[in-house]
Amino acid sequence: MSLREYLLRLDSEGCLVRITEPISKTYEIAAVLKQLEPRPVIFENVIGSEYQVVGNILCTKGYFADYFRIPVSEIIPMLTRAIEKPSPPPPPLPIWERGERLGVGGEVSAPCQEVVHLDPDLDSLPIPLHFESDGGPYITAGVFAAKHPEYGQNLDFHRCMQFSPREMAIRVVEGRHFHRFLEDLGQVDVAVCIGNSPNVLAAGAVSVEIGVDELTIANALEPLRLVRGITVDLMIPAEAEFVLEGTVYRDRRHAEGPFVDLTGTQDVLRQEPVFEVKAITHRVDPIWQALLPGGLEHKLLMGMPRETTIFREVNKVVECQDVNINPGGCSWLHAIVQIIKRQEDDGRKAIRAAFAGHRSCKHVYVVDSDIDVYDPLQVEWAMATRFQG
């Protein structure tokens, strides 16, 4: 199911808030998204842009589970199966000639390439400026596709700060796979896909070994159609709303930030690699996907995939029933792990395994099966009555 098909379903179920009044991409979209969390919102009249903007699509596990028509309790098993048994997508759709690119009538096989701009202008896109302190407008929901001659293709998230009509500064975290690609190659062609379905978003957020193509995980979650990029030799989701194609240069640097990060605090200014955009493709009447920095959707897409890695590690030493990386811990720093305790030291084993599964964790709480890991009062009650520091 594409993002827009899911939006139609949300609308039919009365879950989608439609904002018809004119709204600015400078501060106002971010403010309304925050005010209406966790409800999905679509902005139909963005000042200075011909495109609609949608956000808050996956603010809760309930919305994520609803997309796949599963209970919340099945999210971790579903993601675990997709990681352990990835499924290669079918061959890419053919690339036909486009009328918009040639100036004559034409056909298209992939929705994300219905319109092609080979002289791109980032100013034409409704890229939000979220907060007054931000260094510039930011793409926050972009899934990067990149490729390495040894490791193959990779998907992941990187925030992108626009600083010119064709250039962006990319936050590249050391140690991640894309950082390895860039260090090895010096420059890397990328396709930044925006307006993705939840299976692609989840696959782009998971942590797997280098060499695993996350598109196979996305396809295991839900069948996926791919197409080759127009100017880059990369496989991309054919149903995406927008795709920005171009090159990231390791040794071309620009200031990136400040930026309000996952914790709701301001990240520092850095000199980061430059992304030069060389083509923009999109659907006819595309919908831009925004992701509020530090918001519930940001937290969900960061924390939920790490629950799966913790679940897998803990299950190696004890029987794990559930994991919740909760918003109170910024959906990154705290993990609540539910186990079936059979030996006196099972709790300690679970804690060590949980830290191995998510090294950024600060605190791990292990509870018995009678405690609801999604109820902070029950978790605190268990800590008060069953633990003595």
pLDDT band at 102 (very low <50, low <70, confident <90, very high): very low
Find, among 125, 99, 103, 102, the residue nearest to 114 by Cα: 99
The one-letter amino acid code at 190 reads V
Cβ neighbours for 157, distance < 8 A, ≥ 6 positions apart: 142, 143, 144, 204, 205, 301
Nearest Cα neighbor of 315 from 76, 86, 61, 87 is 76
Span 3-53, pLDDT tens digits = 999 999 999 999 999 999 999 999 999 999 999 999 999 999 999 999 999
Give the whole-angstrom CA distance, residue 265 versus residue 263: 5
Can you say how many angstroms the Cα of residue 93 is from the centroid of all Cα atoms in its chain?
24
Q: How many CB atoms lie within 10 A of CB 218?
A: 29
pLDDT band for position 72 (cuts 50, 70, 90):
very high
**Binning pLDDT at 50, 70 and 90, where does residue 100 land?**
very low
pLDDT of residue 103: 36
* Catalytic residue selected from 134, 189, 213, 261: 261
Reported as a pLDDT band with limits 50, 70 and 90, residue 109 is: confident
Helix, strand, or coil (residue 26) = strand
* pTM for this predicted structure: 0.92
Q: Quick one: pLDDT at residue 217?
A: 97
pLDDT category, 108, cuts 50, 70, 90? low
57-67 residue pLDDT tens: 999 999 999 99
Reported as a single tens digit per residue, the pLDDT across 284-295 is 999 999 999 999
State yes or no: is 261 an active-site residue. Answer: yes
For tokens 């061959």, name the residue. 91
What residues have CB less than 8 Å from 41, skipping those under 6 apart?
16, 17, 18, 19, 32, 33, 54, 55, 56
CA dist., res. 77 & res. 80, Å (int): 5
